[in-house]
């Protein structure tokens, strides 16, 4: 029986997975579990292009991973659990400790737990995924791919905050950057497709529920809009992104909020949802704006403006721009957002081909554009799979 590896990408209430067969890394199955912890959880998986959706309550990540493994067994993608020899997990925060993927052992788990202080919404969930896997597949080896690792090349001038130096020295308060596997995947893909010269100065825009921009020189991250945590930078689906820090004590005092309350406001009640009062989903907002809803239009305007501002700032880091990449849910599918962002980038020589943009084509710039504009579907799981193979020497 051939060896298989499983890439797990767990978020706070969702989990994506892909099962690969070695040595060719053929994708045997992929899918996602949504609304973990709620009564209406769904488990969607695709095998040989055939989609299967099951609805059942999954109270935690253990139940979700159990559903994934059961699904693989009952659909005969695997006949026995022992065929899965290794599992890779995407871990949010690696702090200053992990600039590369590592094999997971007790010490690594302890560090991930310790780093939960820096990523309270994500690291505990990631750890829950690891522990669930250990219960369900006790024989499988495990590897951690950190969201922060790709950004280990950001220089000090871009990762330091203007705070007392001891906060950095003694408490590791600095910019880290996130969405590493996604930025890395589209970077590798763009460099493969367009060559090194055309991708010398590149900005990758990961626009999903969470969103971040990354500035890259020769494929190496030199800046990220996310910071100490994934709350920083752009306004996102429900996250505020950057705000004047003085707003925090102000709302704490004005509304008698605890720091936990403020964290909820900034992470769950803000962003596109907070501004529009309608939805965190760009599809809903585009539709509502089209029907004349001014709050939906405002939310989209602010979102687009912030992306433009970061692109402007990053062209200074890069001293120009050769390629702009859009990825993740919004980046891959919203021609409206891409068009609106690029409409203000004429000064960089960015010019779109509107028909190609509407078609979500791989390359959407006009022939006379000075900058390549690409739409590259992300594949974080393939980076996790690559890391499993490299760290464990499985090839």
Name 50's Cβ contacts closer than 8 Å, sequence gap at least 6. none
- Of the two residues 286 and 369, which places its CB atom closer to ligand ADP in the complex? 286
- Of the two residues 83 and 147, which places its CB atom closer to ligand ADP in the complex? 147
- Of the two residues 282 and 352, which places its CB atom closer to ligand ADP in the complex? 282
Check if 147 is active-site: yes
Would you say 113 is a known binding-site residue? no
Residue pair 233/310 in contact by the 8 Å Cβ criterion: yes
Would you say 18 is a known binding-site residue? no
Minimum CB separation of residue 272 from ligand ADP in Å reads 8
CB atoms within 10 A of CB 160: 15
- Residue whose beta carbon is closest to ligand ADP: 329
CB atoms within 10 A of CB 261: 13
| CA distances (Å), origin 358, targets 6, 173, 290, 368, 372 | 35, 42, 16, 18, 16
The string of DSSP codes covering 32-73 is: EEESTTSTT-EEEEEETTEEEEEE----SHHHHHHHHHHHHH
Q: Round to whole Å and give the CA distance between 382 and 145.
A: 11
Minimum CB separation of residue 347 from ligand ADP in Å reads 26
Q: Which of 116, 103, 125 is nearest to 10 (CA)?
A: 125
Q: Round to whole Å and give the CA distance between 234 and 341.
A: 13
Which residues contact ligand ADP by CB under 6 A?
Answer: 208-210, 237, 280-283, 328-330, 333-334
Name 243's Cβ contacts closer than 8 Å, sequence gap at least 6. 266
- Of the two residues 115 and 282, which places its CB atom closer to ligand ADP in the complex? 282
Would you say 386 is a known binding-site residue? no
Would you say 292 is a known binding-site residue? no
Residue pair 274/267 in contact by the 8 Å Cβ criterion: no
Would you say 282 is a known binding-site residue? yes
Would you say 329 is a known binding-site residue? yes
The residue from 24, 60, 147, 261 that is catalytic is 147
- Of the two residues 276 and 323, which places its CB atom closer to ligand ADP in the complex? 276
What pairing do the DSSP bridges indicate for beta strands 220-224 and 201-207?
unpaired
Q: Is 235 left (phi over 0), alpha (psi -120 to 50) or beta?
A: beta
- Of the two residues 237 and 241, which places its CB atom closer to ligand ADP in the complex? 237
Question: Cα 229 to chain center, whole Å?
Answer: 13
Would you say 108 is a known binding-site residue? no
CB atoms within 10 A of CB 45: 22
Residue pair 173/159 in contact by the 8 Å Cβ criterion: no
326 forms beta bridges with 205, 375
Would you say 393 is a known binding-site residue? no
Minimum CB separation of residue 392 from ligand ADP in Å reads 26
- Binding-site residues for substrate sit at 90
Query: Which residues are part of the catalytic machinery?
Result: 147
- Binding-site residues sit at 9, 16, 90, 206-210, 281-283, 329-333, 380
- Binding-site residues for ATP sit at 16, 206-210, 281-283, 329-333
- Binding-site residues for Mg(2+) sit at 9, 380
């Amino acid at each position: 029986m051939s060896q298989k590896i499983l890439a797990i990408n767990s978020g706070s209430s969702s989990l994506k997975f892909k099962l690969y067969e070695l040595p060719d890394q053929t994708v045997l199955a992929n899918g996602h579990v949504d609304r973990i912890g709620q009564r209406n959880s769904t488990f969607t998986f695709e095998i040989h292009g055939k989609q299967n959706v099951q609805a059942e309550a999954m109270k935690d990540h253990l139940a979700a991973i159990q559903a994934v493994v059961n699904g693989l067994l009952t659909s005969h993608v695997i006949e026995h659990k022992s065929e899965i020899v290794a599992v890779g997990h995407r871990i949010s925060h690696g702090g200053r400790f992990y600039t590369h993927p590592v094999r997971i052992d007790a010490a690594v788990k302890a560090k991930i737990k310790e780093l939960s202080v820096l990523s309270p919404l994500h690291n505990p969930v990631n750890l829950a995924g690891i522990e669930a896997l250990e219960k369900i597949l006790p024989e499988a080896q495990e590897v951690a791919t950190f969201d922060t690792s790709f950004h280990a090349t950001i220089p000090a001038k871009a990762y330091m905050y203007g705070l007392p130096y001891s906060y950095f020295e003694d408490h590791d308060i600095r910019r880290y950057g996130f969405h590493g596997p996604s930025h890395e995947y589209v970077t590798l893909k763009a460099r493969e497709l367009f060559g090194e010269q055309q991708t010398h100065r590149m900005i990758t825009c990961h626009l999903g529920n969470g969103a971040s921009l990354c500035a890259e020189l020769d494929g190496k991250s030199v800046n990220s809009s996310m910071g100490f945590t994934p709350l920083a930078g752009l306004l996102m689906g429900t996250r505020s992104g950057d705000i004047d820090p003085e707003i925090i004590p102000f709302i704490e005092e004005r509304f008698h909020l605890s720091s936990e309350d403020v964290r909820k406001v900034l992470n769950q009640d803000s962003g596109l949802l907070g501004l529009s009062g309608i939805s965190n989903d760009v599809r809903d907002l585009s539709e509502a704006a089209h029907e004349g809803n001014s709050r939906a239009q405002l939310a989209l305007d602010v979102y687009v403006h912030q992306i433009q501002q970061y692109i402007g700032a990053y062209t200074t880091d890069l001293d120009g721009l050769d390629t702009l990449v859009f990825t993740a849910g919004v980046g891959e599918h919203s021609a409206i957002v891409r068009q609106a962002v690029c409409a203000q980038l004429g000064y960089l020589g960015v010019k779109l081909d509107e028909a190609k943009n509407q078609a979500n084509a791989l390359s959407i710039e006009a022939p006379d554009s000075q900058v390549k504009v690409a739409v590259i579907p992300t594949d974080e799981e393939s980076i996790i799979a690559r890391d499993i193979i490299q760290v464990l020497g499985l090839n």
